[in-house]
Amino acid sequence: MKKLFVMILAIAASVSVASADNTVPVQVAQMPNTAQSFIKRHFGDMQVQYAKQQNSPMKAYDVVFVNGTKIEFDGNGDWTEIDCEHGIVPEEVVPRQLRQYVENNHPGQKITGIEKGPMGYQIELSNDLELKFDRDYRLMDMND
């Protein structure tokens, strides 16, 4: 019984290690054209530190720039998350309604991160305040 338990534990450990390492390095040129165009248009002046592809049923890509900015893309190359740790999210990437909300309700704050998903958007401001909006750009929650 003890041998069976040890064997099951060893198999479980090897499966978790294999699944934890489900990313492979890629070149930006190997990513979908949509992602390549987005990077060139909005982050073309930044140097890519590395890019990787998540090998899962829903392929995704992560790009990290030398300055710490990170962008996540879905399998089609559409951005899903942008984290500008030491900067701001390019204005033209943020929907107009969200930019206006921040200008009107949090003057002087900059958008340093944005995430979009099926339920809406989440943005992070330069004061570390996180705002969650539904798909109709209505504020649903905020966390500091």
At 15-73, the pLDDT tens digits run: 444 445 689 999 999 999 999 999 999 999 999 999 999 988 778 999 999 999 999 99
pLDDT score at 21: 64
User: Distance (Å, rounded) from C-alpha 29 to C-alpha 46?
Assistant: 15
71 in any annotated domain? yes
Domain boundary among 55, 86, 117: 86
Between the alpha carbon of residue 128 and those of residues 46, 58, 124, 144, the distances in Å are 24, 30, 6, 6
What's the CA gap between 63 and 70, in Å, rounded?
6
Residue 1 in any domain: the answer is: no
The larger pLDDT score, comparing residue 121 to residue 15, is at 121
Q: How far apart are CA 78 and CA 74, in angstroms?
A: 6
Same domain, 72 and 94: no
Burial 100-121 (b: 16+ CB within 10 A, else e): ebbeeebeebebbbbbbeeebb
Residue after which a domain boundary falls, among 62, 86, 110:
86
% of the chain exceeding 70 in pLDDT? 85
User: Which range marks the domain in which residue 65 is found?
Assistant: 22-86
Residue 101 to residues 96, 98, 128, Cα–Cα distance (Å): 9, 5, 16
Indicate which CATH number applies to the domain containing 71: 3.40.1420.30
Q: Is residue 136 part of a domain?
A: yes
Look up the pTM and report it.
0.83
118 found inside a domain? yes
Average pLDDT over residues 127-137: 97
- Given 60, 86, 112, which residue is the final one in a domain? 86
